[in-house]
Chains A and B, each alone.
Chain A
């Protein structure tokens, strides 16, 4: 680097250290690397919650829980926002400026855009998109909402032709206008991708990116018929059990073109990419075959996939669901739905994950959200409305834990059934500091970028 430039850069940096800057390249460990992140104490967790027939107002809602210990409302539900209908509320994601939270319904195909910046303690419904299927050319089941610059990448799970698993990624502007549909590669139309193994099923589920490698990754689940079906009925239906995805796809992020289809048998779900600069890899887990898979760039610059560890006893089908990587890339939380366990893997050698801790969180377990520093972890119970356990085992909760690197300790919990809320699904963090607002009670731990 030239001497003069160094002087410039250093003076710029010196000034910057005094400034809290919003735009950033990181977030709490699950989200888009484009987004502002909360590195301190989060103020709220927004829980996208499924309405349950016969419980409360029976409809989907965004539930806001105060999680700042400095607040007098700590541990309480401070707002609920009902949206009408049971849409199969599932995942949600912030826009890149983090002012809006997009939340999807896998059944109704509606997308609810919540304003979380005007009053982070009380989100408002800003806009509802109810023509997603028609606009996208037949994509059903808006799943992951992943912020890219000025726009939202949405993964589909199904289609309006056969309600099977062939589907596409759909791009919208931040304003909620349709941009483009990117179909997953199939045998008939690989769209320029290489079919590296036996499978090119055209299925979709999650999406994550590694911008420094211009790479985007998608995983594959199953279509509407299966994700809406009673879980026990599906297990007993051999035809239905054939309709799961067995692939992950590597895409060119800038051009949105699929490059390589990787075999990954048994429904790879959540993808989490490493944060550290030279860690060009992502983890995913296969729900049915209970394995941790590593998607990595080999020495020749080729993307490869490898099963690197079993999760519990795969023959017992523990059903790994949500995962979360720590910001230092050394740890991976893996939740198993059937036994309700959170499992912590040491992934400091990504090719040899080792489980070092496990704890039963509840009768069933799906999602985790952890703070950037890894010291707090939140868990919810629901997987899919008709896949959740039946009867007394259908516990529905939000549980807040602290993590000291060795054990989880319960801080508080919210019983979503007792509070007549519904089934607790995905969580996202909110904070006053993201929007230049001051917390009415807490004086420290404002959100910060960088």
Chain B
């Protein structure tokens, strides 16, 4: 599975993005199952960076988390330095339009920005597990490796000590997670609403993405929009 995910991510940036011809059609697989827009070519042109504003939604909340070394890591200590994309996942999630999608899109965004030297170092990715029981720091470390491989990306994989320490973070980011009882055994699967957060260097949430808008084209332009706003502020303060 890990291998497959890595492969999927690798291909997502190359052939997959060109695989879909029709700009107006939704993607479905051979069984007719819906594939989120993020898996293919965006069916419209993403608005150009800097031509719009992203209003401040709220302050990005802090949280007590664990890094892949098993060390305590506050969420806020990772915010503020760079524009950040934050996703919530659980490692064993296999909903094609769920966690794998958000991981692929984040990877793709970072990869695209890394190709532009002036933007390469400006983005941080954060992925937080909401399944602390199964997603131990060791497991997250493996997960990180399976995704990053040799790629050098500023991507932090985080988990938490327990459901109790995680819950305030889930509440703050309104990640509504329900253990899914319809799965046999009732264990290890979750229902959750897919959300990815764009956080600026003032630790403010500037956008929230769901299935329909979680696409590299859009996220790249949103990140650039924030970076352009930062530059403009710097320029203004120098005047």
Contacts and interface: CB of A to CB of B under 8 A. Distances in A.
Partners in one complex: yes
Contacts of A435: 178
A36 B16 CA distance: 28
B222 to A, nearest CB: 9
Interface in B133-158: none
Contacts of A10: 29-30
Given A9-B29, A149-B213, A255-B51, A25 B34 contact: yes
A23 interface: yes
Contacts of B209: 149
* Chain B residues touching A, range: 35 or more
B168 interface: no
Interface string A244-281: 00000000101111000000000000000000011010
Interface residues of A, number: 55
| Most chain B CB inside 10 Å of its own CB: which residue of A7, A23, A171, A257 | A23
Contacts of A255: 47, 51-52
A436 B191 contact: yes
B23 to A, nearest CB: 9
B46 A436 contact: no
B193 A23 contact: yes
B164 interface: no
Interface string B8-35: 1001100110010000111011110111
Interface in A388-446: 435-436, 438, 446
B182 to A, nearest CB: 5
Given A18-B183, A34-B210, A150-B195, A180 B55 contact: yes
B95 interface: yes
A368 interface: no
A34 B26 contact: no
Interface of A is mostly: loop
Contacts of B19: 1-2
A213 B178 contact: no
A19 interface: yes
A214 B189 CA distance: 32
A15 interface: yes
B15 A2 contact: yes
A23 B211 contact: yes
Interface string A133-175: 0000000000000000111000000000000000000010111
A33 interface: yes
A12 B5 CA distance: 10
A13 B191 contact: no
Interface of B: 1, 4-5, 7-8, 11-12, 15-16, 19, 24-26, 28-31, 33-37, 39, 43-44, 46-47, 51-52, 55-58, 94-98, 100, 174, 176, 178-184, 189, 191-195, 208-213, 218
7 contacts: A9-B8, A13-B96, A19-B95, A19-B180, A25-B34, A97-B176, A177-B57
Lowest 6 A-B CB distances belong to which pairs?
A150-B208, A211-B212, A255-B52, A277-B26, A436-B178, A22-B191
